[in-house]
Amino acid sequence: MIKKTTKEKVMDYIAYFFIYSLLGWIIETIYAFIIHGSFVKRGFLFGPICPIYGFGAVILLLATKKMYGKPFQKFLIATVLFTVFEYLVSLIFEEIFGLRWWDYSNDFLNIQGRVSLMYTIFWGLIGLILLEKLHPLIENLIQKIEVKIKTNAKLMMVYVLIGILILDFVLSSLKYLNIF
């Protein structure tokens, strides 16, 4: 493995954020299609990403960075981190926008409809799959792509993606705040 600079590591985590945000949006879209039988726009943003998945994945990757061969501990950490994060995001979005993007009120052992036992276990399993199976593949793919792209081009792509995300966030916020 090549020794990376701090800047390169940050760019990797930004790439992971966007990859997992897109994968989260795809999962949400497929789930909604199965439940509703048609396409349902998922997430807060206009674009095809759900940042809650990207942030959750990056937080989990950072929290378990030095854990090798401890799947049960990774499951527990994923369960707690994702559940707390989901609860906080739900609370913050409801306070700011007055809307709920999900509601688990009908689920067994829920807390204010923001989190529930079923999804807590689900997030733990998803986190474990991410850490043990999916992320090693994505990390390897990123490394293979990185060697073919110059640092300036990578940096430019990161800036463009962040710029698009900020623009989408601002426009989406204005929409939900009924400003435009």
Structural domain including 144 reads 6-176
Structure tokens at 71: 């799947």
User: Are residues 33 and 39 in contact, defined by beta-carbon separation less than 8 angstroms?
Assistant: yes
Distance of CA 173 to the CA centre of its chain: 18
- Please say if the pLDDT value at position 104 is more than 90: yes
- Please say if the pLDDT value at position 2 is more than 70: no
Q: Residue 37: how many CB atoms within 10 A of its CB?
A: 8
Q: Residue 137: how many CB atoms within 10 A of its CB?
A: 9
Rounded to an integer, the average pLDDT of 74-102 is 94
Percentage with pLDDT > 70 across the chain: 98
Q: What is the pLDDT of residue 148?
A: 87
Task: Look up tokens 């293979």; give the residue.
Answer: 144
Bridge partner list, 116: 110
- Please say if the pLDDT value at position 105 is more than 60: yes
d(CA 153, CA 180): 35
Q: What is the pLDDT of residue 17?
A: 97
Q: How confident is the model at residue 116 (pLDDT cuts 50, 70, 90)?
A: very high
Classify residue 1: in a domain, yes or no. Answer: no
Classify residue 68: in a domain, yes or no. Answer: yes
- Total domains, the chain: 1
Classify residue 138: in a domain, yes or no. Answer: yes
Classify residue 98: in a domain, yes or no. Answer: yes
Task: Look up tokens 């509601």; give the residue.
Answer: 103
Q: What angle do CA 76, 79, 84 make, to 5 degrees?
A: 125
Q: What is the pLDDT of residue 1?
A: 54
Mean pLDDT value across the chain: 92
Q: What is the pLDDT of residues 29-66, one digit of tens each?
A: 999 999 999 988 888 999 999 999 999 999 999 999 98
